[in-house]
Amino acid sequence: MLLHIVVSWFVSALALWIVAQIISGIEVRGFGAALLATVIIAIVNGTLGVVLRFLTLPLTFLTLGLFLLVVNALLLKLASLFTPGFSVRGFWSALFGSVVLTILTTILRTLVFLPAPERIRL
């Protein structure tokens, strides 16, 4: 259980570091900053994110879920304000960064946590 959490944390930090290399406007100064940023992102998502998603539920419903992209971008930008070594400049960087981060984290976690015989062999 603890190993799963630690590996998941490292995978999320790696995904954030990769996103910072891909998306201009997102900066992570080293892997340590990425590790700290993933913790802050998790705290922001688990507290303010829950409230914000609940409050914007009608708008999210009307936009068929697309407004969640805006909420996620705002939460990513907010997390960067509390994290030294992690910055997100501008709304569009936050929006594209949150989308790429979600996709990349999902892919990496799927690859890491697949049972051994089902892993993709390169």
**Can you state the angle between helices 31-46 and 67-81, rounded to 10 degrees?**
120
Specify the pLDDT at position 118.
59
Interval 55-68 mean pLDDT: 96
Sequence-ordered list of residues with C-beta below 8 angstroms from that of 122, at least 6 positions apart, any chain? none
Interval 55-84 mean pLDDT: 97
Residue 77: how many CB atoms within 10 A of its CB? 21
76-121 pLDDT tens trace: 999 999 999 999 999 999 999 999 999 999 999 999 987 766 556 6
Q: Which pTM does this prediction carry? A: 0.89
Pairing, β 86-88 against β 26-28? antiparallel
Cα separation of 13 and 29, whole Å?
A: 12
Specify the pLDDT at position 120.
60
CA dihedral (78, 88, 34, 97) in degrees, to 10, reads 100
Mean pLDDT over the full length of the chain: 94
